[in-house]
Structure 1
Amino acid sequence: MQLLLIHSDFIEFEAKRPTKMAEEIDDQAKKGRLEEALCAFIAVEKFDEDDPEAVIAE
Structure 2
Amino acid sequence: MAEDLHRVELTDSFLARLEAIEAFLIEADAGAAFDDLLDQLRSTVIPNLARFPRIGRR
TM exceeds 0.5? no
TM-score by length of 2: 0.24
Quick check: which one's strand share is greater? 1
| TM-score normalised by structure 1 residue count | 0.24
| Structure (1/2) with the larger helix percentage | 2
> Considering only CA atoms, is the larger Rg found in Structure 1 or Structure 2?
1
